[in-house]
Amino acid sequence: MATVRKLYLGCPYCNIASGNEKDTVFVYDDSRVCAFRDPYPDSENHFIVLSKIHISDYNSLSEKDISLLEHMRTVGIKLLDQVCEPNMPKRMGFLPNSFSRVNHLHMHCLALPLTCNWVRRLVYSPLIFFDSKDLVEEVKESCYNL
């Protein structure tokens, strides 16, 4: 029997995704994801792309979520391309739960350079921050054993 995922009342990002958080202004919204400027930005242009279904983190992803991840990546690229110069470096990905404020699948999209302090910069290092492209490939590999 397939597990049905839904929004959870106690989850602040479920509250945002459902449109019940009136202080959050979406810069993108469709049936699968919404996006907004991070309220605690770590770069001049820092967006959050948020799944509209509750998935606690990237460790809970399955084969059915691959298209969602690809869509989140496409939306993130679109948002950053709208505000960045063509060759400006960008970073898109996911933080592990231990470094995240909310346990709900969301992707950070940042135009570099980072503007946060050196401690916060560490969370965006390759040792901690999981690049969106790499995550898509890893989920595919784990599902299809490629």
3-state secondary structure of 65: helix
Q: How far apart are CA 116 and CA 83, in angstroms?
A: 19
My answer on whether omega of the bond before 41 falls inside 30° of 0, hence cis, is: no
User: From the CB of residue 85, how many other CB atoms can be counted at a distance below 10 Å?
Assistant: 8
CA gap 133, 146 in Å, rounded:
16
Alpha carbon 134 to its chain centroid, in Å, reads 13
* Active-site option among 46, 104, 106, 108: 108
Is position 54 annotated as part of the catalytic site? no
Within a 13 Å sphere around the CA of 81, how many CA atoms are in the beta-carbon half? 6
Name the residues annotated as catalytic: 108
